[in-house]
A and B are shown apart, each in its own frame.
Chain A
Amino acid sequence: MTAVRSQDVGVDRELAIDLYRTMRRIRQFETTAGELFAAGELPGFIHLSIGQEAVAAGVCAALDDADYITTTHRGHGHCIAKGGRLREMMAELYGREGGYALGRSGSMHIADNTVGILGANAIVGGGIPMAVGGGYAAQLAGRGQVSVAFFGDGAVAEGVLHECLNLAELWQLPVVFVCEHNGYAEMTPVSKHLANAEVTDLAAAYGMPAEKVDGNDVAAVLTAARAATARARSGAGPTLIEARTTRWRGHFEGDPQKYRAREEITAMTERDPLTHWRDVLHAAHGVPPAELDQVDADIADLVGAAVEAARAMPLSDPGGLSRHVYPEGAR
């Protein structure tokens, strides 16, 4: 996990700022969602990926709208990075009519066919086979699309991941498996849930190339994602990326986190992917902090506007509860 400097990986000033902007959008959206949840405005459960933003931003920077992703219960960041719209996402968290799924599905089920988000998923490991299917479709279509499965180290213990690694390698599918290794399966540390915490070793068992990266360094993630997607697009098959990262929040908002020491969380904030990237932007690209503060302020306005828009929307109509149980309209 050597540090990769941005200029080493073909990241120009514009892309570098874009990466920062994506991470900032995720951070702001989730920080706001956490506050709204604590204030009792958002029902249900929410799971935040604060501290993990570089994985979503780095991987999705290597993707186009035509590429597919599936993600997890901790999937806001991937959806935002893939082009999900903040207003519809926030409205879905509120359970409003203008949400992505008319408020039926909530935080864990954002999907958007215009930007290839096959769906976040509330079942650990549940989205991985769908990403493999997206890869099968991409292989048949022959247009160079890639399909990405995001999952955590918790899903590494699910049998379906192993079925999918085998199938994707066997069929040489254009799939990138991205393991966000944040060290926890919900509330259980990796020492208690994985016999072998080196996730890349598992890929080796299936003959699949794998790379471990610092998941809090967006340039390192992007570099690995570019290599993996290039391999996939060229027809050379799947890759597994293990991104070591940090989950600052509990498993869910409200989790008292009695299973870990406060010092552990404090230490994580010293590996803040946003702070790190601000430093790179300043040092390598001469971007003044004031310019990034302005980015932060603009994004705070965007997220604030999404919240206001969601609050102003009507609640979903219970009369429409049975709509879309079966698909409507010709396809």
Chain B
Amino acid sequence: MTTVKYWQAINRALHEEMARDDRVLVIGEDVADPGGPFGATKGLLEAFGPDRVRDTPISEAAIVGAALGAAMAGYRPVVEVMFLDFVTVAMDQVVNQAAKVSYMSAGNFAAPMVIRSICASGRRTGPQHSQNLEAWLAHVPGLKVVWGSTPADARGLLKAAIRDDGPVYVIESLVEWSTRGEVADEDEIVPIGVAAVRREGTDLTLVTWGGAAPRAARAVAQLEDVSVELIDLRTISPWDRETVLASVRRTGRLLVVHDAVVDFGVGAEIAATVATECFDELVAPVRRLGAPYAPAPFAPHLEAAYLPQPEDIVSAVLETIRTVRKAS
């Protein structure tokens, strides 16, 4: 085991995968010479050369589409779309093209590519640099979406994404950028579609991911009289239904916590699935906690009010626990 920062774990995954497979390419804005806007692609140009590691113009649609074309032609590009918000200008290439290549060609072509973006939620970057857009991506059949909240998961998920034969969107948390954690010295893959049970519990299942996961962990640590099972989803799509459903069948209660706007978010999908599949076991209404229906604000106090804080999570857990079904 080695202790590294979150960004160093990402950097390590890229170095390891480029060394392992010479079909892996890294392209994007500022990824080569500058080594990435926040260092994630540091040293790749020096190690693997300018054919495989390239700075691009600020042309998100063209570079995502170029990565797709190269993927269809046999390479395994990792294209960086700097901030998750910027994918909106490449949405045709993501939604209409990359996600559908396998299906539209009945398997004649595949798109083994990765799109990496930072989500800067929690870093005071304002309405167009800190959106949690995972629901947009997860709603597109054919596109996998992963989001590691620890250094080990950021590394392991990125490696799994690069080895996947279809397009995978890898979201990374800027707010965790310098968080340290242990990563295995060996080649550790975190399989796509498998959640992590961070803490076992019996009273309530708390499902979270991405930037909200560390705050949820801090909240759960404060709870003394309540036994919470904390699940970090890690993969948004396809999500680990089995782990979540099995947990709720034991606890009878579900709280989903995410940083995205609650309305029409991924939490709704999880809540609806649990409501359907765990009808007999539920002893309290399923509950979602997330951002209000407003764009992400800039000012630190506003952003703090916007994102679910540990104390909000504690309150939501306790309210769910205290909810008692009326006798029928």
Footprint of B on A, CB under 8 Å? Answer: 68, 70, 100-102, 104-105, 109, 111-113, 118-119, 121-123, 126, 128-141, 147, 159-160, 163-164, 166-167, 170-171, 323-331
B25, B69, B96: most-surrounded residue (chain A CB, <10 A): B69
Bound CA–CA A267/B269 (angstroms): 58
B296 is an interface residue with CB less than 8 A from chain A: no
B66 touches A326 (CB 8 A): no
30 A-B pairs within 8 Å (CB atoms) are namely: A68-B69, A100-B106, A101-B103, A101-B104, A113-B109, A122-B96, A123-B92, A126-B92, A129-B65, A130-B69, A131-B69, A133-B65, A133-B69, A134-B72, A136-B66, A138-B73, A140-B25, A140-B51, A140-B75, A141-B74, A163-B62, A166-B57, A167-B56, A167-B57, A170-B57, A323-B106, A325-B142, A327-B165, A330-B165, A331-B112
Bound CA–CA A160/B93 (angstroms): 10
Bound CA–CA A128/B59 (angstroms): 13
Give chain B nearest CB distance to A67 CB in angstroms.
Answer: 11
Interface residues on B, range: 35 or more
Q: What residue of chain A has the Cβ atom nearest to residue B58's Cβ?
A: A163
Bound CA–CA A104/B62 (angstroms): 26
Task: Please name all residues of chain B whose beta carbon is closer than 8 Å to the beta carbon of A135 when the two chains form the complex.
Answer: 69
B102 touches A129 (CB 8 A): no
A70, A133, A164, A326: most-surrounded residue (chain B CB, <10 A): A133
Bound CA–CA A105/B98 (angstroms): 15
Task: Please name all residues of chain B whose beta carbon is closer than 8 Å to the beta carbon of A111 when the two chains form the complex.
Answer: 104-105, 108-109
Interface of A is mostly: mixed
- Contact of A137 with B69 at beta-carbon distance under 8 Å, contacts A324-B107, A325-B141, A328-B107 already known: yes
B92 touches A160 (CB 8 A): yes
Task: Please name all residues of chain A whose beta carbon is closer than 8 Å to the beta carbon of B73 when the two chains form the complex.
Answer: 68, 118, 133-134, 137-138, 141
A123 touches B65 (CB 8 A): no
Task: Please name all residues of chain A whose beta carbon is closer than 8 Å to the beta carbon of B25 when the two chains form the complex.
Answer: 140
A119 touches B105 (CB 8 A): yes
Q: What residue of chain A has the Cβ atom nearest to residue B69's Cβ?
A: A133
A112 touches B108 (CB 8 A): yes
Chain B positions 48 through 80: 1 when the CB is less than 8 Å from some CB of chain A, otherwise 0:
000110101101011111111111111101000
Task: Please name all residues of chain B whose beta carbon is closer than 8 Å to the beta carbon of A140 when the two chains form the complex.
Answer: 25, 51-52, 70, 75
For chain B, residues 83 to 109, give those with C-beta under 8 angstroms from any C-beta of chain A. Answer: 92-93, 96-97, 101-109
B110 is an interface residue with CB less than 8 A from chain A: yes
- Contact of A325 with B65 at beta-carbon distance under 8 Å, contacts A113-B108, A163-B57, A167-B59 already known: no
- Contact of A133 with B70 at beta-carbon distance under 8 Å, contacts A126-B96, A163-B57, A327-B165 already known: yes
Task: Please name all residues of chain A whose beta carbon is closer than 8 Å to the beta carbon of B141 when the two chains form the complex.
Answer: 325
Give chain B nearest CB distance to A124 CB in angstroms.
Answer: 10
Kindly identify which residue among B59, B63, B93, B102 contacts A325, using a CB–CB cutoff of 8 Å: B102
B35 is an interface residue with CB less than 8 A from chain A: no
Kindly identify which residue among B68, B105, B111 contacts A129, using a CB–CB cutoff of 8 Å: B68
A327 touches B106 (CB 8 A): no
A129 touches B93 (CB 8 A): yes
A130 touches B57 (CB 8 A): no
Task: Please name all residues of chain A whose beta carbon is closer than 8 Å to the beta carbon of B43 when the two chains form the complex.
Answer: none
Known: A104-B104, A133-B71, A326-B144. 4 other contacts (CB 8 A): A134-B69, A163-B57, A163-B59, A327-B102
B105 touches A132 (CB 8 A): no
B93 touches A126 (CB 8 A): yes
Task: Please name all residues of chain B whose beta carbon is closer than 8 Å to the beta carbon of A134 when the two chains form the complex.
Answer: 69-70, 72-73
- Of all A-B residue pairs in the complex, the 8 with the closest CB atoms, nearest first, are A133-B69, A129-B65, A137-B73, A163-B62, A163-B59, A130-B69, A327-B110, A133-B66
Task: Please name all residues of chain B whose beta carbon is closer than 8 Å to the beta carbon of A327 when the two chains form the complex.
Answer: 102, 107, 110-112, 165-166
Task: Please name all residues of chain B whose beta carbon is closer than 8 Å to the beta carbon of A129 when the two chains form the complex.
Answer: 61-66, 68-69, 93, 97
Task: Please name all residues of chain A whose beta carbon is closer than 8 Å to the beta carbon of B74 when the two chains form the complex.
Answer: 137, 141
Task: Please name all residues of chain A whose beta carbon is closer than 8 Å to the beta carbon of B102 when the two chains form the complex.
Answer: 324-327
Bound CA–CA A329/B106 (angstroms): 12
Task: Please name all residues of chain B whose beta carbon is closer than 8 Å to the beta carbon of A104 when the two chains form the complex.
Answer: 103-104, 106
Kindly identify which residue among A105, A166, A330 contacts B104, using a CB–CB cutoff of 8 Å: A105
A118 touches B166 (CB 8 A): no
B72 touches A326 (CB 8 A): no
Task: Please name all residues of chain A whose beta carbon is closer than 8 Å to the beta carbon of B52 when the two chains form the complex.
Answer: 140
Task: Please name all residues of chain A whose beta carbon is closer than 8 Å to the beta carbon of B92 when the two chains form the complex.
Answer: 123, 126, 160
Chain B positions 186 through 200: 1 when the CB is less than 8 Å from some CB of chain A, otherwise 0:
000000000000000
Task: Please name all residues of chain B whose beta carbon is closer than 8 Å to the beta carbon of A164 when the two chains form the complex.
Answer: 59, 62, 65-66
Bound CA–CA A171/B27 (angstroms): 12
Task: Please name all residues of chain B whose beta carbon is closer than 8 Å to the beta carbon of A102 when the two chains form the complex.
Answer: 106
B104 touches A119 (CB 8 A): yes
Q: What residue of chain B has the Cβ atom nearest to residue A320's Cβ?
A: B106
A118, A147, A324, A325: most-surrounded residue (chain B CB, <10 A): A324
Task: Please name all residues of chain B whose beta carbon is closer than 8 Å to the beta carbon of A113 when the two chains form the complex.
Answer: 72, 105, 108-109
Q: What residue of chain B has the Cβ atom nearest to residue A167's Cβ?
A: B62
Bound CA–CA A159/B93 (angstroms): 13
Task: Please name all residues of chain B whose beta carbon is closer than 8 Å to the beta carbon of A132 when the two chains form the complex.
Answer: 62, 65-66, 69
Give chain A nearest CB distance to B96 CB in angstroms.
Answer: 5
Give chain A nearest CB distance to B278 CB in angstroms.
Answer: 24
Q: What residue of chain B has the Cβ atom nearest to residue A111's Cβ?
A: B105
